[in-house]
Amino acid sequence: MKLRDFILRRVLLAIPVIFGVLTITWFLSYVVGDPLAMFITERTNPAAIPGIIQDHGFNEPLVIQYFLYLRTLLAGDWGVSYSTGGDLPVLTVIARKFPATIELAIVAMVFAVILGVPLGILSATRKDKPIDHFTRVFSLAGVSMPIFWFALLLKYVLFYQFSVWGLPYLPSGDRVDNELWKTVLHNGVGYDFTSSITGFVLVDSLLYGQPILFGDAVLHLIMPGFCLGYLTLAIITRMMRSSMLEVMKEDYITLARSKGLTERIVIYRHALRNALIPTVTVIGLAFGGLMSGAVLTETIFNWPGLGRWATQAILVSDMAAINGFVLLVAFIFVSANLIVDLTYGALDPRIRYG
């Protein structure tokens, strides 16, 4: 019974936050910015403009506009983005580009967790040994790294210099090698939203039953994935290290030692579980960092996701796109934190029943 209550309470707590998020985006786009730009573009039929103004209540008082804003959002009308070529509804663009970004973010997160947690443990258990110093510098560099620059650096070395030296090199950008996909799939378009099944290229290549394509997709993911994940990796490593060090000083570790458990068991069974609790929170917060990072990484690696869309939108002042993007990221972030909260409950019985 308690677990259900716990979940319910967390979900309910997220609702006012979402409302706040909506209010802020409304304030930014309607009060400070120019809301008309979100719905009317150069290509809009002039005859339709009065209707659009009427629908969104741009000539009504702000309060009414606010409620109309909420209504239009709920109705799925997030404005028209003109930075994608033709005028496309924002939600359509999001639906097309979302999988690419999420796939990249997940890969980055997997990188970060798989490398970060063990590195953190290693560093904490070998405190002040060479491996600890190395890990600390490595993770400190991660939090201090301008991600866009790191991406360029990786590209320069792993793509350009490697190809100059005649080594096997990684592709410089894009999600897939489109020529390869065209020849393998014989569809003339390669990989895009028309030929994708789930939108996740790793999954799709397997669904097509083509290991070559899967390999191609993996190759394309390595650089952007690592680049995006490095910051998160660094954060997780640091958090893991410090919480591990903290936990190792706790009384229950002394108790565990006094039971005659080996140091391995003390660390991996008693300390790890406790040390993971703050780390999991950080992982949730880091998801927001991934979204910020995606804006920068995708631009550089020519990744056809939301981040690159947003940067293109910025350059041509595509208000609707920016708003949609910001709103979406906030939603993703809130839900990531919700998931983390629930995981937290699973890890720490004190929270669950608290």
Partner 1 sequence: MTVRGDNGNDQGEQESIVVPGLVHRVFPSLHIVLCLAAISLGAAYLVGNFVAWFANSFMHELGFQLPSLLIGWPLQALLLVVIGYMNLKSGRAISRGDAWAYSSSLYMNAVTGVILLTIGPLGLLPAVGVFALVLALFAPSVKSYWYREFREDMGPRGKELRFSFHLLRRSPLVIVGILIVAGYISVAFLAPWITPYGPEERIWNDANLAPGTPAGEAKANSLILFSNYSADISIYPEYTRGEVQVGPEEVTTSLPPIIAFSGYVRDTGNDNLTNVLVHTAVYKLNLTTFDSLSPSLRELYLVKSVEKAMLSRPNIEVNNSPSTYVWVVWFVASNKTVPWIVDTVVTLDYNRYYPIHYWGTDNSGGDIYSRIIWAAQVDLRVSLSVVLVALASGALIGAASGYFGGKLDEMVMRITDIFFAFPGLILAMAIVMALGTRNLENISYALMITWWPVYARVVRGQVLSEREKLYVEAARSIGASDSRILLSHIIPNTIQPLIVQATMDTGGVLLTAAGLSFIGFGSAAGTAEWGLMISQGQYYLLNYPWECMFPGVAILMIALALNLVGDGIRDILDPKLRRRG
Partner 2 sequence: MSQSQDLVLSIKGLTTNFYTYEGVVKALDGIELSLKRGDTMGVVGETGCGKSVTAKCVLRLIEPPGRIDGGQILFYDRDPKTGETQETDIVQLTPLEMLSIRGNRIAIVFQDPATYPNPVFRIGAQIAEVVTLHQDLGREALEVRIKELEESLKNSPSPEHQAKIREQIEHYVSMLENPPKPDRKYARKAAWAKAVDMLRLVRMPSPDQIANQYPHELSGGMRQRALIAMALACNPSILICDEATTALDVTVQAQVLNLLNILKKEIGASILIITHDLGVVAETCNSVTVMYAGTTVESAGTKQLFENPVHPYTIGLLTAIPKLHENKERLDQIPGTVPNLINPPTGCRFHPRCAFATDICVSDRPSLEEVLPGHYVACHHPQGNL
Sites of contact with partner 2 (CB under 8 A): 250-252, 254-262, 270, 273-274, 277, 347-350, 353
Cα–Cα distance between 285 and 280 in angstroms, integer?
A: 9
Q: How far is the CB of 201 from partner 1 (least distance, A)?
A: 24
Taking CB under 8 A as the criterion, the residue among 58, 98, 138, 148 binding partner 1 is 148
Q: Which is nearer to partner 1, 256 or 295 (CB)?
A: 295
Lookup: tokens for 165? 């030296």
Q: Which is nearer to partner 2, 21 or 253 (CB)?
A: 253
Binding partner of 25, given partner 2, partner 1, none, CB within 5-8 angstroms per partner class: partner 1
CB of 147 within 8 A of CB of 297? yes
- Sign (positive or negative) of CA dihedral 88, 90, 95, 98: positive
Binding partner of 199, given partner 2, partner 1, none, CB within 5-8 angstroms per partner class: none
The residue ranges of DSSP E strands in 48-172, in sequence order, are 80-84, 86-89
Taking CB under 8 A as the criterion, the residue among 97, 322, 344, 345 binding partner 1 is 322
Cα–Cα distance between 153 and 158 in angstroms, integer?
A: 8
> 3-state secondary structure string, 199-255?
CCHHHHHHHCCCHHHHHHHHHHHHHHHHHHHHHHHHHHHHHHHHHHHHHHCCHHHHH
Q: Which is nearer to partner 2, 103 or 341 (CB)?
A: 341
The length of the chain, given as a count of residues? 354
Helix (H) or strand (E) holding 148: helix 147-154
Q: Which stretch binds partner 1 (CB under 8 A): 38-46, 136-144, 218-226, 269-277?
A: 136-144
Taking CB under 8 A as the criterion, the residue among 236, 330, 341, 344 binding partner 1 is 330
CB of 173 within 8 A of CB of 301? yes
One-letter amino acid identity for 321? Answer: A
Binding partner of 254, given partner 2, partner 1, none, CB within 5-8 angstroms per partner class: partner 2
Binding partner of 288, given partner 2, partner 1, none, CB within 5-8 angstroms per partner class: partner 1
Binding partner of 205, given partner 1, partner 2, none, CB within 5-8 angstroms per partner class: none
Binding partner of 131, given partner 1, partner 2, none, CB within 5-8 angstroms per partner class: none
Cβ count near 96 (within 10 Å): 20
Residue 323 binding partner 1, by CB under 8 A? yes
Q: What 3-state DSSP class applies to 141?
A: helix
Q: How far is the CB of 203 from partner 1 (least distance, A)?
A: 26
Binding partner of 143, given partner 1, partner 2, none, CB within 5-8 angstroms per partner class: partner 1
What is the pattern of x (binds partner 1, CB under 8 A) and - over residues 293-312?
--xx--xx---------xx-
Q: Which is nearer to partner 2, 60 or 348 (CB)?
A: 348
Q: Which residues contact 250 (CB under 8 A, 6 or more apart)?
A: 274
Cα–Cα distance between 283 and 322 in angstroms, integer?
A: 25
Place of tokens 């950008």: 173
Lookup: tokens for 279? 């780390």
Considering only residues 230-249, where is the footprint of partner 1 by CB under 8 A?
Answer: 246, 249
The residue ranges of DSSP E strands in the chain, in sequence order, are 80-84, 86-89
Binding partner of 91, given partner 1, partner 2, none, CB within 5-8 angstroms per partner class: none
Total binding residues toward partner 1, as defined by CB under 8 A: 52
Q: How far is the CB of 206 from partner 1 (least distance, A)?
A: 31
Cβ count near 39 (within 10 Å): 21
Q: Which of 308, 304, 318 is nearest to 87 (CA)?
A: 318
Q: Which is nearer to partner 2, 223 or 256 (CB)?
A: 256
Binding site for partner 1 (CB under 8 A): 16-18, 20-21, 23-25, 28-29, 32-33, 140-141, 143-150, 152-153, 155-156, 160, 246, 249, 288-289, 291-292, 295-296, 299-300, 310-311, 314-315, 317, 319, 322-323, 325-326, 329-330, 333-334, 337
